[in-house]
A and B are shown apart, each in its own frame.
Chain A
Amino acid sequence: MAAPGPGEYFSVGSHVACVTCLGQRLQGEVVAFDYQSKMLTLKCASSSGKPNLNDVILINLAFVSDVDIINDRTETPPPLASLNVSKLANRARTEKEDKLSQAYAISAGVSVEGQQLFQTIHKTIKDCKWQEKNIIVMDDVIISPPYQVENCKGKEGSALSHVRKIVEKHFRDVESQKSMQRSQAQQTQKDSTLSS
């Protein structure tokens, strides 16, 4: 645990690398360090590569070895912004509901395609839920397995047409992804054949 820094073992803003007892190597910028609990928080670049998002890692230094301070920052860390607690609470609630909803669908034996479609629709239209294996969007449109465009039923209107567009696009994207993966797989195969 040895880390330089008076008062704080890790100064905020410095970059630290370490290896957990489970053999996982972690590296990131120190965001916070709690001396009492020996908990270190690192901020890393998002694993998904999104520029405005970060991965935050909370590390228990009691189970970490090989702590290296890659570089230490002496600058005073920026002031902490006040947080909108209610906003956080809402996020926690919605996240939990989403997960429970997903679990419900899984429990109901919904296919992976159906789950993927649900996730896609949910990104655009929050008001969607599972009813057994049917996806109900806005209490208006019902998508029943196998969840194709023609399976979208409901009162004719903008809602139905809109949902259909989403579903259509979803499967188009899925197809493109599959083709991409296929091409990549083929590419890898070719490479492997060539190399071999």
Chain B
Amino acid sequence: MRMVHVLTSVVGTKCELKVKNGAIYEGVFKTYGPECDLVLDAAHRKSTEPSTGPRKEDIVESIIFKASDVVVVTFKDVDLNFARKDNFTDAAVSGRINGEHKEKDLEPWDGGETHNSDSFESLDTDVSNGWDPNDMFKYNEEKYGVLSTYDSSLSTYTVPLERDNSEEFLKREARAAQLAEEIEASATYKARVALENDERTDEEKYTAVVRGERETHTLENKYIPPGQRNREAMSWGPGRQNSPRLGQSSAGPPTPRPGPHDYSPSSGADQRVVNGGSSHWPSPCPSPSSRPPSRYQSGPSSLPHRATTPTRPPSRPPSRPSRPSSHSSHLSYPSSSSCFSHHGPTSPASTLVKRMSSEGPPRMSPKSQRTPRAHRVPPCRTSGVSPGVDLISHNAPGEASVTPSTRSSSSSGGTWSSVVSGAHRPRSPRQNSMGGASPGSSSLPSPQTGTAPVESVNTPTSASSPTAASPAPNIVTSPSGDGKLQFKKCLLRSSSNPDPPCEMVMTKPARDSADKPKDLPLDKASTVGREGAEDSVVVIAAGTTSGTSAPSTTTTNTSKPDSPAAMSPSTSAPDQKRTGLDVTSQGVQTTATSTFSGPKHEEKEEKKEAVQVRKSTLNPNANEFKPRFNSQPKPANTPTPPRPQGQPSPSIVVQQPPTVYSQTVCFPQMYPLTPVSPGVQVRYTPMPHMTVGQSKPYRPGKVPNMPQQRSDQHHPPGTPTMMHPATAAGPPIVAPSPAYSAQYFTCSPQQFTSQPLVQQMPHYQSQHVFSPVMQGSARMMAPPTHGQPSLVSSSTTQYQEQTHTMYVTPVSVSPGPMPQQYPHPSATLHPHPQHPQPSATPTGQAQQGGPPQHGGPPSHPAASPVQHPQHPQAAAAECFHPPQQQMYSALAPTPPSMTPGPNPQSPQASFPSAQQAVYIHPQQVQHGYNPNHMAHVQQAHMQSGIVPSHHPAPTHPPMMLMATQGPPAGPQPPMPQTALNPIPVSSTTHFSYLAHPQVQPHHQQQL
């Protein structure tokens, strides 16, 4: 090789060639052969006698010398760089110069002793910076005879304006003033001024931008109403920070969050539109998506949880207690309905929606809504069944809401508090982009909401109070505070937040429950929905808890809890349930508070009911899907769904905590929901959110690796979902990740559901922002109600995950995905900031959360081993992977779990299984990652499991509880984490991670 190169580089040079007999030939080296034969052109035999040159007749056109005849060939004075193509590249030039000028040694410059002191000092001490003004004046006067002055009027060069009171002058003056005002009021002017005055860091601008872009894209692609867009634009104009964040990346750390808020309103509008797509919800929830949704829902639920959970605790606690399913329903509703239904579907929700949007949904909503809408809508439409699931879940939630509350209160009394705390955190983040300021919560919250700091602080307090006090009160308080803060942030949309923080929370829960019920009914049967509601509730709780805890631990916990509770996950299930409940409660509270104000919540509830009705219509379709899921996947599917649910909820929760997160979470939730049927949409959205959130979180991510890995993992899962939405869900996703695809394939129904989900997603999206929690709940719901659906959902969730990775493609493919992605990014971003703060613990938590969120872990129980290992390997990466794995594992695992309890129990059981599966995975994952994490997860599971008690979880719950208690730095922390985690679960690890950080902060605060 080098011989070829060298010989080639000397082509065209003169050479002397000696042959064996001693003769020397001179010629121009023409070429060479593979056997090193040499060809000389114009060669002549060099006579021994020195002569001037060869005679014409001595020259031979060309001679070929065999290598065996050649002794030595000498090329004299060859420039080996002659033919180098990169002659003018820096490397080539410097390389040559270095070779040619090496002999020139650099000599240190000795400034000269004589000048050093004086000249240097003069330079340092010379303040005049050149000519002294007086010197210049003097010089001008002497040289040009010009007397310079400091007169700003430049009377020497200009003529003063003659002011008079003439009408003409006044007119002109007014005209000038008007023009000036117009110019200064123009968006362009403001934007430019904002640019100049923009103190955001590049990271905020650009990193965040990515998220924002996603959001914007999602919004644009999806259903962002012109008004909303305008708003966004406005936001951009006035405060680029917000707008950029929104536009570029809602995730944009603090500022982006604010933007998201702004957007959220718009998203709210989107949500409304989505609501129109409410059918999506039903479809997603109903069928396959149900489980996936469950994950997603969990994720979404987490987001929704904020809203829903809050609501649950306050309002529903009473009613919910009666119906466990309510939790799931709440969750689902919160996530899906609350977010979506509230926002878009229900006009009353409009207020709610507004609030939701304003709080978290907006943030989430844009992304989720946008992406979800497209995806959701299609899915829902395509898969009417899925909606049914959602409806069921939702319906159940409505009833279950009471149960959930009870559960949450009972099992997650601590969880609630934690949830609350989590909620606070989220809210705080949302409200205060500063979020970071707030200790524990700040991290998560802050990311979500730039202003979060203050809120975060508030939230912590509230959180603490909640923990101490009954869940509901706490929730209420926290929600109120959060809601206020969030609302304040959201100002645009939710000025009412302050009004009924508690009410909001309560209402939110109710709404969530209502929404969930609606969704559930729509999807499958109200009965299933009820059961599912319970499950969903649990899931939701988990989701919320995870969401609240969003910070890694909570999410994980929640996710785990959910899965455990739902399925057998044994310990995980209970834990998950407990955590889930807690989380949900927290998440709900947070979400509810944040997104919904008391009144709004109420309205939302009503709306939700309406939505439910709508969904019910959808549900029929969902039912169809459900069968598929149930029949085939149930075991696997259900498991998977649960995982998704669990994951979603965590993710959701995570998102919810921080405004950004909440948004992202919402999206994830949304996605999850969507996958699941109604949930499908939600799930999808959640997934995206999750992914986004995860990815972003990771990015901001304290741990770069983690984020990436997470993103990857999440993305894979998300991508799948995304894929579904995009292509119709299935194909792309399948392509993305074989394993996933396989799972998905198994879940084929899921794919269908995915589509439904996609359709639903839109709805969710619209709602998503607000309903992250709702979605999560929806997911939760869906899973429970739709054991099979859950399967679908799980598949969807997986897809979603894949889609996350795929996001881009999904986005392109379907508007929905795009939005989701965007939202996610922002969410992720938000999460990241938060996570970063928690950093060490957060990461750990996050990891834990991730696993839980993944839900995969829970489901993994069976498959989990493998997944677990992976999870442990890379906390961050694992987180991401875990989700996927969880998803997969969930699929596989779920079946077992599903078969055992889910089916029997009906939706709830199925959901639980799914959830459990999910949770289990998280737990496992968490375990693998960190003992603490594990503990958190367990806690989450315990909580969730406790909440779901009905679910198989019980067995797991103990374990979970133990674990959760251990990490506890707080039970509450776990709860929050779980809540956050739930979202992460949907979005999977990312969220969970995010959630975890937040959770940790929360914990700290609480502690």
Interface residues of A (CB under 8 A from B): 12, 20-22, 24, 26, 31-34, 36-37, 39, 41, 43, 46-48, 50-60, 62-63, 77, 80-85, 87-96, 99-100, 102-104, 106-107, 112, 115
Q: Mark B195-235, 1 if CB is under 8 A from A, else 0.
A: 00000000000000000000000000000000000000000
Shortest B94–chain A CB gap in Å is 13
Chain B residue with the shortest CB-CB distance to A88: B11
* Interface contact B6-A56, CB-CB below 8 Å: yes
Residues of B within 8 A of A93 (CB): 12
* Interface contact A81-B85, CB-CB below 8 Å: yes
| B181 in the interface (beta carbon within 8 A) | no
* Interface contact A83-B28, CB-CB below 8 Å: no
- A46 vs B8: C-alpha distance in the bound complex, in angstroms? 19
* Interface contact A89-B92, CB-CB below 8 Å: no
* Interface contact B22-A95, CB-CB below 8 Å: no
Chain B: interface size category: 35 or more
Q: Which residues 55-84 of B sit at the A interface, judged by CB distance below 8 A?
A: 55-59, 67-68, 70-84
Shortest A21–chain B CB gap in Å is 6
| B100 in the interface (beta carbon within 8 A) | yes
Which of A36, A84, A94, A99 has the most chain B CB within a 10 Å cutoff? A99
Residues of B within 8 A of A102 (CB): 53-54
Residues of B within 8 A of A85 (CB): 8, 83
| B9 in the interface (beta carbon within 8 A) | yes
Which of B4, B11, B44 has the most chain A CB within a 10 Å cutoff? B11
Chain A residue with the shortest CB-CB distance to B67: A37
| B96 in the interface (beta carbon within 8 A) | yes
**Cβ contact of A84, chosen from B7, B14, B83, cutoff 8 A:** B83
Residues of A within 8 A of B20 (CB): 21, 63
10 smallest beta-carbon distances between A and B, as pairs: A91-B12, A92-B12, A107-B56, A37-B36, A32-B2, A58-B73, A32-B3, A56-B75, A34-B3, A95-B28
**Cβ contact of B53, chosen from A39, A58, A106, cutoff 8 A:** A106
Q: Which residues 370-420 of B sit at the A interface, judged by CB distance below 8 A?
A: none
Q: Which residues 74-131 of B sit at the A interface, judged by CB distance below 8 A?
A: 74-86, 92, 96, 99-100
* Interface contact A95-B18, CB-CB below 8 Å: no
- A37 vs B34: C-alpha distance in the bound complex, in angstroms? 9
Contact status of A96 and B42, CB under 8 A, knowing A26-B72, A32-B3: yes
Residues of A within 8 A of B84 (CB): 81-84
- Told that A56-B80, A94-B12 touch, could you supply 19 new A-B pairs with CB distance under 8 A? A32-B1, A32-B2, A32-B3, A32-B6, A36-B36, A39-B67, A39-B70, A46-B77, A52-B96, A54-B79, A55-B74, A55-B78, A56-B75, A59-B72, A60-B68, A80-B2, A82-B84, A89-B11, A91-B12
Chain B residue with the shortest CB-CB distance to A91: B12
**Cβ contact of A39, chosen from B1, B36, B56, cutoff 8 A:** B36
Contact status of A77 and B57, CB under 8 A, knowing A47-B77, A87-B83: no
* Interface contact B55-A91, CB-CB below 8 Å: no
Shortest B21–chain A CB gap in Å is 10
Contact status of A22 and B77, CB under 8 A, knowing A80-B2, A91-B11, A92-B28: no
- A186 vs B677: C-alpha distance in the bound complex, in angstroms? 108
Contact status of A96 and B56, CB under 8 A, knowing A55-B75, A55-B76: no
Chain A residue with the shortest CB-CB distance to B51: A106
Q: Which residues 629-656 of B sit at the A interface, judged by CB distance below 8 A?
A: none
* Interface contact A60-B92, CB-CB below 8 Å: no
- A21 vs B69: C-alpha distance in the bound complex, in angstroms? 12
Chain B residue with the shortest CB-CB distance to A44: B74
Which of B14, B28, B86 has the most chain A CB within a 10 Å cutoff? B28
Which of B59, B70, B83 has the most chain A CB within a 10 Å cutoff? B83
Name 23 interchain pairs, CB-CB below 8 A, sorted by A. Answer: A22-B22, A22-B71, A32-B1, A32-B4, A34-B3, A36-B36, A52-B96, A53-B78, A54-B77, A55-B74, A55-B75, A58-B38, A58-B70, A60-B67, A82-B86, A83-B9, A88-B8, A88-B83, A89-B11, A91-B82, A103-B55, A103-B56, A115-B53
Chain B residue with the shortest CB-CB distance to A112: B52
* Interface contact A106-B54, CB-CB below 8 Å: yes
Residues of A within 8 A of B99 (CB): 52
| B602 in the interface (beta carbon within 8 A) | no
- A106 vs B727: C-alpha distance in the bound complex, in angstroms? 80
- A115 vs B51: C-alpha distance in the bound complex, in angstroms? 12
Chain B residue with the shortest CB-CB distance to A56: B75
Chain B residue with the shortest CB-CB distance to A51: B100
| B29 in the interface (beta carbon within 8 A) | yes
Q: Mark B14-54, 1 if CB is under 8 A from A, else 0.
A: 10001010100001111000011010011010000000111
Residues of B within 8 A of A92 (CB): 11-12, 28-30, 41
Contact status of A37 and B35, CB under 8 A, knowing A82-B86, A103-B59: yes
Residues of A within 8 A of B27 (CB): 99
Chain B residue with the shortest CB-CB distance to A58: B73
* Interface contact B6-A60, CB-CB below 8 Å: no
